Amino acid sequence: MNKIPPLVLLILATILWGGNFVIGRAVSADIPPFALSFFRWVIALLFFLPIAWKSLQQDWPKIRSHFGIVIVMSVTGVATFNTLVYIALHHTSAINASLMNSTTPIIIYLLSFMFIQEKLTKKQWLGAIISFVGVIFIISRGSLELITTFSFNTGDLIMVGAVLSWGAYSLLVKQYSEKLPGNATFLVAIMIGTIILLPFFLYEWTTAPESINWSIKTVSAVLYIGVFASIVAILSWNSGVVRLGASRAGMYLNFIPLFATIFAIIFIGESVQFSQLVGAFFVISGVYIASR
C-alpha cells in the first residue's frame, strides 16, 4: 500500500464504508442483524488472521497487559457498533444512517471532554451545537411536530447509540494508540467480538431459522462487508492516516455519507429528502468547524 497515494487510500476506505450502509439496508429483509454482524466478523477473522498473526505473536505481552481495554474495544467497536448499525438499517434509510454516522468526530470531542477532562475550544463547542441541530433536523425529517412530540424514527435513535459506541471505541484507540499495536490489537478485538456475538446469533437463528435467506445476493453482501468494508477499508484508512496525519485524514470521513447517498440512490432506489440535505449541511459544517 506504500506505493498508493494516501488520498487514494482514504477515499477508497470511505467508498467501502459508504457501501456498508447500503449493503446493510439492501439485505435487511434477507438476513437478521446479529447474523449479518457475526458472519461479517467471521469472514474478517479468516481474512485478517494470516496478515496479523506474526504481529500478534510478537506483541502479545503488550496486549495481555491491557487486555481489559482490548475487551472494551471489542465490545464497543466490533460487537456493538456494527450490530446496532444493521439493526438501525431495518428501520431507517441508508442515507439517514450514514448522515448520523457523520457526527462521530463531534461525539469523540464530547466524550473526551466528559471522561478524560480534555478541554474543548470555542470552535469545537460551536461545531458540536451546529452538528446537533443537523441531527435533530435529520431524525425529525424537518417536522416541528415530531420534535415537540419526540416521535422519532426508531432506526435513527438506534444509530445514535451506534455512534456513541463507535465514539467510545475511537476514544480508547486515541488513548492507547502508543501502548497497543494496531494490527495485533484489531485481530484480538475481532476474535473477542466474534465470541460475544456468537450466542446472540445462535439465539436469533434457533428462534427463527427461516429468517436467513441464503442467495447470491446475501453471500455477496457478507463477503463484501467481511473483506472489503472490514479489512481492506481499515488497512487503507490506517495507511492513509499514518502518511497524511490524523487531522487532515479525519476530514475525509465526510465522504462516507456522500458515497452512501450515491450508492443508495443508484442501487436501492432511495431518494434524497430536503430535510436530509439541510441536516447534512449542518452536520458537516459543524464537523468542519470543530475539526479546524
Query: Per-residue confidence at 145, pLDDT binned at 50, 70, 90?
Result: low
For residues 5-28, average pLDDT: 93
Helix (H) or strand (E) holding 50: helix 33-65
Q: Which has the closest alpha carbon to 27: 46, 40, 12, 41?
A: 40
Query: Per-residue confidence at 1, pLDDT binned at 50, 70, 90?
Result: low
Instruction: Match 460475544 to its residue by C-alpha cell.
Output: 196
Count of all residues that appear for the chain in the document: 292
Query: Per-residue confidence at 247, pLDDT binned at 50, 70, 90?
Result: low
Least trusted range by pLDDT, from 28-32, 242-246, 254-258: 242-246
- pLDDT given at position 50: 95
Contacts of residue 222, Cβ cutoff 8 Å, sequence gap at least 6: 31, 36, 39, 40, 43
On whether the CB atoms of residues 83 and 197 are closer than 8 A, the answer is yes
In this prediction the pTM is 0.90
Q: Which residues of 174-202 are buried (b: 16+ CB within 10 A; e: fewer)?
A: eeeeeebbbbbbbbbbbbbbbebbeebbe
Q: Which has the closest alpha carbon to 200: 54, 26, 62, 41?
A: 41
pLDDT at 151 over 90: no
- pLDDT given at position 246: 65
- pLDDT given at position 248: 67
Mean pLDDT across the chain, nearest whole number?
A: 88
List the domain boundaries for the chain.
Answer: 6-291
Share above pLDDT 90 across residues of the chain, in percent, rounded to a whole number = 50
**12 three-class SS:** helix
For residues 85-101, average pLDDT: 92
Share above pLDDT 70 across residues of the chain, in percent, rounded to a whole number = 94
On whether the CB atoms of residues 75 and 164 are closer than 8 A, the answer is no
End-to-end CA distance of the chain: 28
Question: Tell me: the pLDDT tens digits for 210-234?
Answer: 788 999 999 999 999 999 999 999 9
- pLDDT given at position 76: 95
- pLDDT given at position 216: 95
Question: Tell me: the pLDDT tens digits for 257-271?
Answer: 889 999 999 999 988
pLDDT at 102 over 80: yes
On whether the CB atoms of residues 20 and 226 are closer than 8 A, the answer is no
Q: How far is CA 67 from CA 30, 36, 50, 64, 179, in A?
A: 36, 26, 21, 5, 12
